[in-house]
Structure 1
Amino acid sequence: MPSPKFNLEPAVVDFLERMAAVLFPLQSWIDQKAYTPPGKYPWRDGKPIAPRELGIIAFIEGLFASAPAEIHLLERFNKAAADPLTFCPIGDMQRWRAVRGLSSKPRFGIVESGNLPLVDGKPVVRETLYHDYFPVLLQALADAQAAPSFSWEGFVDDLSKDQSAFWPVGAPKSSAFVWQFAKDCLRAMLSMRNPVDPPEQIALLIELGEHRRVGNAYGPQDARKDVEDFMKRYQEVANMPVPEGEGIVAAVHPPVGSPPITKRDLAYG
């Protein structure tokens, strides 16, 4: 697969790739962790890997294409935030809630889910968030690099904690960008929509020992095979003699239809 072509300015691409390398030091993590995945991979054979090889920036640019849909959702979000029950299909919701002992004033708690791009606690369209931050980030970087003892690790760490001496007064919190970018990087590396070839495309999943993949499909024959394997194992266990002293005993919980349990179950209950 050819290298992705970015619509972002080269300075922005370089900035994001360097920030991703600080937030996700993949190679040093791979080198020190105990689990070694089966197979041979370039990053385990002398070719270090970094987030830039995983197509993260191209993935994020792809997310920008959903801006029109996000704008529509943001409008719906704002209506629901003002009146949490505005889209509820149940008639007479106040009575429905009162019968169940619920407050007459429902709370809109979607923001706390952490699934929304936020700035100062308010949801924003991802493309807007990124492009509003780019000029401020690049200026802060230029000022930081002009100072002595600059390091990318220290610069990114300060941004993540809202402690950068080079962050403009009055600008949105630098941490809001860092953590949103970190979440989007993880989405790229875990959801496999990053436009690079395997095995780099799924390097993180390989190293995590995660075998689920986008596009996996299972048909009826797979279900039949799983049932056959289960029944075979069940028959093996069912025909095993019960160890002495571990016969069926009365349940110790209320009789609600649960099957009887063994003394071993009681021991571990």
Structure 2
Amino acid sequence: MKIAFSPCPNDTFVFHALVHGQVPGAPSFDVTYADIDITNNWAAAREGPEVLKISFAALPWVLDDYALLPCGGALGRGCGPLVLTKNGAADPASLSGKRVAVPSERSTAYLLFRLWAAQNIPGGNLDIVVMPFHEIMPAVRDGSIDAGLVIHEARFTYQNYGLHMMTDLGSWWESDTGLPIPLGAIIARRSLDTASLTAWIRSSVEYAWANPEASAAYVMEHAQEMSPTVANQHIALYVNEFSRNLGASGYAAIEALLGRAMKEGFVPAFDMAKLRS
């Protein structure tokens, strides 16, 4: 079976056991490591592997063909995207007309940014540039971009680039809704045995927690020159109880995000019941 997820530590930690034959009864998996923007586009085009990690924000485009699995993804608190600048500007209105780099136009990070910008940037007049997330901070530092929307380990390293945080979109979302932040979803083609896939992925999460050292070499092999300390911070932030089971608050967060986005016209209309079926 083919699967695609990012090389980020949270994904390699979660899926280590599954793709290394440590989950009883699971088939062998052929892994493709891909940036979230790539997997979002694969899913929307009905291309690529049978199982993918995508942004929750991309779900409205794919739910007719893919089921959302209730485990293996990334939701949480205190782990939201950041808006960074070089000059330390604090007023969101200062971004009007400026170039802002984002990691994907169908990412949860970008959707949160659009919802925030609709409240805080008059007219929403922005020049959006999509680039791989690891290129965003250098671009802001070097002045080719005015601001950057960053995710993942950038929360821990942006100061190394001399950058300043304008806003933490996770804090904004949590204070506005009281809900966790839905970031990355695991989806599978509806033609598959999604119940078995759910059980295998859940077992992989539980194996990772029970045997954290087992995945260490695999995590660092794909960690893009990240230090072990930052990789461990990354795992601790993004792999949590929601990775085992979305639960009531997880589904509520997803429905709140996509419901607001649908109301604003940021995503196409879709059947919300398909999030749970």
Is the strand fraction higher in 1 or 2? Answer: 2
Fold-level match, TM-score > 0.5? no
Q: TM-score, normalised by structure 1?
A: 0.29
Give the TM-score normalised by the residue count of structure 2: 0.28
Q: Which protein has greater RCO, CA pairs closer than 8 Å, 6+ apart?
A: 2
